[in-house]
């Protein structure tokens, strides 16, 4: 039995306490638990119109007074001048509308709303916090701490749900604000789509505030008509904002209840995991589950049951009679059901029939799971499952374009249209807009609002347009948004953290300077290395120089080798707005035509950058290496350096190769090159992998910024020189920080790939080339890759390495307490421990590693944030996601500009077949780094006579040109006509390949 009693008493002027006394009884023993919640009467309303709060407000722990933000002359509607209070569902549904600069100017967010939003959607929470943090002349958002105000805190009543209590707390906040600001003439408007909440507000019959739903509030705004497209497109069953004719007969299976899900997972008959939709077939997904050696397949629209790529789903295995092999059909959402009517949801495709599942007991399902595990070991047939619940949505803002054939050009008013998304793994989105004709040739941003069971396509709303399709600005912004890259200018609060001297900042002339030591007490701990012959070697045009090197012969015949890394943490201190922004961005993003910086340009390209001929602060790793490149000793120092020269890779190579150059700097560079060759050889002997990717470089015209030509990236010996010493520095730092912080060291691991990842590639190699790849260890994999040589085709080995790279696991950042030491191993580099230390200007991981190394050498104490496992886990999750997104954004930028180069340059190129379907082949063109699906209808006029041999990875068809029968196998080298075309359905430019 458990009972609780609430009391409230005043402790002192301005401070009260509410006590909850819980009495629990178990086996006759009573336990008294007292919880105290402190309340204040000096929490200000933060309105500049209020005269009372300025007299009672007190400074915070940093001795700063809160800033009064809400306008004294807010927007007037029919109700007069007003402030808006929002409930949780409005924030979650309409965050895009809240961010729009033309509405919602003065907004009060009760603390209880902020807390609920954080629990339900962390990305929306971060966007809301940004609105409150970055209030300006047009957007004034404040958080009112209603849970700590004596006037607005309420106790939960008997039999009252938590949601009802929170709704009542929001209404109490509105009541207090209405009374508090009565003399100013400013009204309070509660905006809520919760019908019960609005009715409860009306039943109070209060004149202190007014309650409106979102639609009615927007209607009341002077610019309401202009922003109506941004109102969320909600399920008509829950909100009567859509017409009766929108209801339809199409029905997905209903999701299981929470109780059934929890019981099913506990009993081992339901499974939870993240779904990945196939890049070649949007009606096929896969879920990796711990018990299964291969991902379980989800096939068909009904079995996918409204799941988006990346959603966390709960699945139930289907009967064994429905298990099947992965699909051999290529199918994208863009060209599927192109004639569907967005105003009519009743159309049901032939291949979206739900599984006729017999009723199966829990015992039978557990037997089914055992059969599934055995089946995966034995054959190509894979267990299939269906989605029965979605526990976490991956929804975000998406970029796409209106499907032209979904627009009725004769309709001037609001109409339903389809948005085809840039991500071809995702379905079309149905939105309502008045601007359909105007937006036809635009890239647009939309948000997904809901996907009711009786709708074939998800419902969303328009957010904004980015500009005309194919314009460089629109396409670049589109790919940044699509990959969640923060590209807005740095905020004022971030820029205020930069040194006041700006570009005039200079490192002290001497580390012993008395005045300089007064300004920076840590300066005396730095080592002055300005006498070392240091240089940097980077790509051409590099301005954010992270690293520099030196080598010097020691009297004992050994070499002193130094890697010097920009000391970013001297400027980026923990707990500052600058640090928070760097942590949020996670990494710099490199596009063909621009760079999106992690840190402001003042630091990245000037004060931190190890530019030549100027003094700079650095973090130095200095080894003593013998003639075999074995480490005799290693030291770590915060330092001051002066780089003698900044070389591009090619310049450095020419200088090393020039026998006339015999100066000390060049001799040091030659020594570095020789030592790097020995380091690389030792890595390769240990089993380090030498993988490949189809990387190309796009040359831009320096005057017009137009793309000029495409070339395959070339690697020089100096590329390897820098890489080897950066690897060595990362390994040395990893060992040091792990020794000092064994639970929270920032590290990077690369898990070994499951053998199942290489099954298909191995089958292809065995069938076509009588070769195989061994994955028993990284050494075995490296050796087997070396053996995959075709004397007739020198590119074949590179092709196999490219395909092997796609079978690998992704490397990931982690904190050392998350895994046992054997799992720290980096499979690709064949080292037992690794981190990233050498690029702090462009990677946040490196900033954390710098701080931990500074703590390890007793330079300065380590921030508590980097000693806390939970906080380190959050940092690692974010930088893993941002790192992956940055890679995808960079590739998408190259793909766009390659398309622009090819637009006017049709050419015949050599390509390689890397995948064979029963309705087409996928060909990789190394010269452009592009791959494309050549559909069966573009290979032959007689598609019915085509034959697909799944065992031999062969497609046989009657050639369009010669009318002869032709066989195409995987790994075949083929000639293709390459041209860039604009897809008439999607308005996306892509490489079109025509087999010759």
- pLDDT of res. 152: 92
Element (H, E) at 15: strand 15-26
- pLDDT of res. 986: 67
Residue pLDDT, tens place only, 923-981: 998 888 888 889 888 888 888 888 988 888 999 999 887 778 999 999 999 999 888 88
Q: Are 313 and 272 in contact (CB under 8 A)?
A: yes
**Cα(846)–Cα(842) distance, integer angstroms:** 8
Q: What's the mean per-residue pLDDT of the chain?
A: 86
Handedness of CA 83, 87, 90, 93 (dihedral sign): positive
User: Residue holding tokens 């009542």?
Assistant: 168
**Cα(273)–Cα(314) distance, integer angstroms:** 7
Q: Are 963 and 939 in contact (CB under 8 A)?
A: no
CA–CA distances in Å: residue 621 to residues 522, 639, 725: 18, 10, 10
Segment 224-236 mean pLDDT: 78
**Cα(528)–Cα(511) distance, integer angstroms:** 7
Q: Quick check: 358 pLDDT over 50?
A: no
Pinpoint the alpha helices (H) of 204-255: 214-220, 224-227
**Cα(618)–Cα(600) distance, integer angstroms:** 18
pLDDT class of 707 with cuts at 50, 70, 90: low
Q: Are 193 and 90 in contact (CB under 8 A)?
A: yes
pLDDT class of 334 with cuts at 50, 70, 90: low
β partners of residue 12? 15
pLDDT class of 584 with cuts at 50, 70, 90: very high
**Cα(850)–Cα(363) distance, integer angstroms:** 54
Q: Quick check: 233 pLDDT over 50?
A: yes
Closest to 741 in 3D by CA, of 564, 822, 861, 619: 861
Q: Quick check: 846 pLDDT over 70?
A: yes
Q: Are 731 and 831 in contact (CB under 8 A)?
A: yes
**Cα(61)–Cα(166) distance, integer angstroms:** 29
The tally of CA atoms less than 13 A away on the side-chain side of residue 302 is 15
The 10 Å Cβ neighbour count of residue 869 is: 13
Q: Quick check: 20 pLDDT over 70?
A: no
Q: Quickly list DSSP for 586-653.
A: -B-EE-SS-EE-SS-HHIIIIISS--BTSEEEEEEEEEEE-TT--EEEEEEEEEEEEEEEEEEHHHHH
Bigger pLDDT: 833 vs 134: 833
**Cα(58)–Cα(13) distance, integer angstroms:** 13
Q: First vs last Cα of the chain: how many Å apart?
A: 81
3-class DSSP assignment, residue 948: strand
Domains and CATH numbers, the chain: 41-230 (3.40.50.1010), 251-342+360-394 (2.40.50.690), 492-746+828-890 (no CATH), 752-808 (no CATH), 906-995 (2.40.50.140)
Q: How are beta strands 954-958 and 965-969 bridged, if at all? A: antiparallel
**Cα(662)–Cα(668) distance, integer angstroms:** 10
- pLDDT of res. 246: 43
Closest to 706 in 3D by CA, of 880, 528, 574, 897: 897
Residue pLDDT, tens place only, 180-192: 999 999 999 999 9
**Cα(317)–Cα(368) distance, integer angstroms:** 7
**Cα(332)–Cα(329) distance, integer angstroms:** 10
Provide φ and ψ at 518, rounded to 5°: -65, -40
pTM: 0.82
Residue 42: exposure state from Cβ atoms within 10 A (0-12, 13-18, ≥19): middle
Residue pLDDT, tens place only, 58-69: 887 777 888 899
Distance from CA of residue 808 to its chain's centroid? 20
Q: Quick check: 530 pLDDT over 90?
A: yes
Buried b (16+ CB within 10 A) or exposed e, 445-473: bbbbbbbbebbbbbbbbbbbbbbebbebe
Residue pLDDT, tens place only, 758-792: 988 999 999 999 999 998 889 999 999 999 999 99
Q: Quick check: 346 pLDDT over 50?
A: no
Segment 321-340 mean pLDDT: 74
Provide φ and ψ at 483, rounded to 5°: -110, 20
The 10 Å Cβ neighbour count of residue 972 is: 17
pLDDT class of 357 with cuts at 50, 70, 90: very low
- pLDDT of res. 241: 40
Q: How are beta strands 907-917 and 920-925 bridged, if at all? A: antiparallel
Report which listed range, 50-54, 424-428, 497-501, 949-953, is most confident: 497-501
- pLDDT of res. 19: 63
Segment 210-235 mean pLDDT: 86
**Cα(238)–Cα(195) distance, integer angstroms:** 10
3-state secondary structure 157-190: CCCCCHHHHHHHHHHHHHHHHHHHCHHHCCEEEE
Q: Quick check: 647 pLDDT over 90?
A: yes
pLDDT class of 239 with cuts at 50, 70, 90: very low
Residue pLDDT, tens place only, 265-297: 999 899 999 999 988 888 889 999 887 878 899
Per DSSP, which regions of 172-307 are E strands? 187-191, 210-212, 271-277, 284-287, 296-299
Sequence-separated (6 or more) residues with CB below 8 Å from residue 432: 229, 233, 414, 415, 416, 417, 461
CA–CA distances in Å: residue 601 to residues 543, 597, 605, 696, 841: 10, 7, 5, 27, 10
Distance from CA of residue 642 to its chain's centroid? 37
Share of the chain above pLDDT 70, in %: 88
pLDDT class of 378 with cuts at 50, 70, 90: very low
Q: Quick check: 853 pLDDT over 60?
A: yes
Element (H, E) at 421: strand 415-421
- pLDDT of res. 854: 97
As a residue count, the chain comes to 996
Q: How are beta strands 812-815 and 746-749 bridged, if at all? A: antiparallel
pLDDT class of 902 with cuts at 50, 70, 90: confident
Bigger pLDDT: 676 vs 236: 676
pLDDT class of 813 with cuts at 50, 70, 90: very high
Closest to 289 in 3D by CA, of 307, 265, 306, 308: 265
The 10 Å Cβ neighbour count of residue 766 is: 12
Q: Quickly list DSSP for 98-126.
A: HH-TTS--EEEEEHHHHHHHHHH-HHHHH
Q: Which of 462-466, 708-712, 892-896 has the lowest mean pLDDT?
A: 708-712
Q: Quick check: 377 pLDDT over 90?
A: no
Buried b (16+ CB within 10 A) or exposed e, 214-242: bbebbeebeebeebbbbbbbbbbeebebb
Cα Rg of the chain, angstroms: 32
**Cα(10)–Cα(16) distance, integer angstroms:** 4
Q: Which of 70-79, 524-533, 827-836, 872-881 has the lowest mean pLDDT?
A: 70-79
């Amino acid at each position: 039995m458990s009972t609780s009693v609430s009391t409230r008493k005043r402790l002192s002027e301005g401070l009260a306490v509410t006590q909850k006394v819980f009495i629990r009884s178990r086996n006759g023993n009573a336990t008294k638990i007292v919880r105290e919640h402190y309340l204040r009467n000096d929490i200000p309303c933060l309105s500049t119109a209020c005269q009372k709060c300025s007299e009672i407000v007190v400074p915070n722990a940093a001795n700063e007074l809160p800033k009064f933000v809400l306008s004294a002359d807010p927007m007037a509607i029919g109700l007069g001048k007003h402030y808006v209070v929002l409930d949780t569902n409005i924030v979650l549904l309409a965050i895009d509308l809240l961010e729009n600069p033309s509405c919602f100017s003065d907004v009060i967010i009760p603390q209880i709303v902020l807390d609920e939003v954080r629990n339900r959607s962390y990305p929306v929470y971060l966007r809301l916090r940004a609105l409150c943090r970055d209030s300006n002349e047009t957007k004034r958002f404040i958080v009112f701490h209603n849970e700590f105000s004596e006037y607005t805190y309420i106790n939960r009543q008997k039999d009252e749900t938590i949601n009802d209590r929170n709704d009542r707390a929001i209404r109490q906040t509105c009541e207090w604000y209405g009374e508090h600001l009565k003399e100013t003439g400013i009204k309070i408007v509660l905006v809520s789509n919760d019908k019960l909440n609005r009715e409860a507000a009306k039943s109070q019959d209060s004149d202190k505030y007014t309650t409106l739903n979102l639609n009615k509030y927007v209607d009341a705004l002077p610019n309401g008509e202009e922003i109506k497209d941004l109102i969320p497109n909600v399920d008509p069953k829950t909100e009567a904002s859509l017409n009766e004719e929108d209801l339809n007969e199409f029905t997905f299976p209903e999701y299981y209840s929470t109780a059934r899900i929890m019981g099913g997972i506990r009993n081992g008959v339901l499974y939870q995991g993240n779904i990945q939709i196939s890049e070649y077939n949007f009606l096929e997904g896969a879920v990796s589950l711990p018990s299964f050696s291969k991902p379980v397949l989800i096939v068909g629209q009904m079995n996918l049951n409204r799941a988006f790529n990346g959603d966390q789903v709960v699945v139930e295995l289907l009967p064994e009679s429905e298990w099947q092999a992965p699909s051999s059909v290529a199918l994208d959402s863009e060209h599927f059901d192109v004639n569907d009517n967005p105003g009519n949801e009743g159309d049901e495709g032939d291949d979206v029939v739900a599984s006729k599942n017999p009723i199966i007991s829990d015992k039978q399902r557990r037997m089914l799971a055992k059969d599934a595990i055995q089946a995966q070991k034995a054959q190509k047939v894979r267990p299939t499952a269906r989605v029965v619940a979605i526990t976490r949505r991956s929804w975000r803002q998406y970029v796409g374009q209106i499907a032209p054939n979904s627009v009725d050009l004769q309709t001037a008013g609001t109409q339903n249209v389809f948005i085809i998304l840039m991500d071809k793994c995702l379905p079309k989105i149905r939105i309502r807009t008045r601007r359909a004709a105007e937006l036809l040739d635009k890239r647009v941003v939309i948000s997904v609002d809901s996907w009711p069971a009786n709708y074939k396509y998800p419902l969303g709303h328009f957010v904004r347009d980015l500009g005309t399709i194919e314009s460089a600005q629109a396409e670049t912004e589109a790919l940044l948004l699509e990959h969640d890259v923060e590209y807005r200018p740095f905020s004022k609060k971030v820029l205020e953290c930069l040194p006041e001297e700006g570009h005039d900042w200079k490192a002290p002339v001497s580390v012993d300077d008395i005045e300089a030591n007064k300004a920076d007490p840590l300066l005396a701990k730095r080592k002055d290395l300005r006498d070392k012959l240091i240089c940097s070697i980077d790509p051409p045009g590099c301005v954010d120089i992270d690293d520099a090197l030196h080598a010097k012969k020691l009297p004992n015949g050994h070499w002193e080798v130094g890697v010097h890394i920009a000391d970013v943490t001297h400027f980026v201190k923990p707990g500052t707005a600058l640090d928070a922004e760097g942590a949020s961005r996670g990494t710099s993003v490199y596009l063909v035509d621009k760079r999106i910086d992690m840190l402001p340009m003042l630091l990245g390209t000037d004060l931190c950058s190890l530019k030549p001929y100027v003094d700079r602060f650095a973090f130095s790793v200095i080894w003593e290496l013998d003639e075999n490149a074995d480490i005799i000793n290693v030291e770590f120092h915060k330092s001051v350096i002066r780089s003698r020269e900044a070389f591009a890779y090619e310049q450095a190579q020419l200088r090393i190769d020039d026998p006339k150059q015999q100066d000390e700097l060049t001799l040091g560079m030659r020594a570095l090159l020789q030592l790097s060759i020995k380091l690389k050889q030792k890595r390769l002997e240990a089993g380090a992998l030498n993988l490949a990717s189809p990387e190309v470089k796009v040359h831009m015209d320096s005057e017009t910024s137009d793309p000029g030509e495409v070339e395959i990236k070339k690697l020089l010996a100096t590329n390897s020189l820098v890489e080897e010493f950066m690897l060595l520095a990362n390994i040395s730092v990893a060992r040091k920080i792990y020794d000092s912080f064994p639970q929270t060291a920032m590290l990077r691991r690369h898990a070994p790939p499951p053998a199942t990842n290489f099954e298909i590639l191995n089958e292809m190699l065995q069938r076509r080339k009588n070769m195989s790849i061994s994955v028993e260890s990284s050494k075995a994999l490296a050796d087997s890759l070396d053996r995959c040589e075709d004397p007739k085709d020198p590119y074949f080995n590179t092709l196999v390495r490219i395909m092997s790279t796609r079978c690998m696991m992704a490397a990931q950042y982690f904190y050392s307490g998350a895994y046992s030491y054997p799992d720290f191993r980096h499979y690709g580099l064949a080292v037992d421990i690794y981190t990233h230390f050498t690029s702090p200007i462009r990677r946040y991981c490196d900033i954390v590693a710098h701080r931990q190394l500074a703590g390890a050498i007793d330079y300065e104490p380590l921030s508590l944030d980097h000693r806390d496992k939970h906080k380190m886990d959050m940092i690692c999750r974010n930088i893993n996601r941002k790192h992956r997104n940055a890679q995808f954004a960079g590739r998408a930028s190259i793909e766009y500009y390659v398309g622009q180069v090819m637009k006017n340059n049709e050419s015949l190129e050599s390509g390689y077949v890397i995948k064979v379907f029963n309705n087409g082949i996928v060909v990789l063109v190394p010269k452009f780094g592009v791959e494309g699906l050549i559909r069966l209808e573009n290979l032959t006029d007689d598609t019915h006579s085509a034959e697909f041999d799944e065992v031999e990875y062969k497609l046989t068809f009657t050639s369009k040109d010669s009318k002869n029968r032709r066989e195409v196998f995987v790994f075949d080298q083929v000639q293709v006509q390459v041209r860039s075309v604009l897809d008439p359905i999607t308005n996306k430019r892509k490489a079109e390949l025509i087999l010759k």
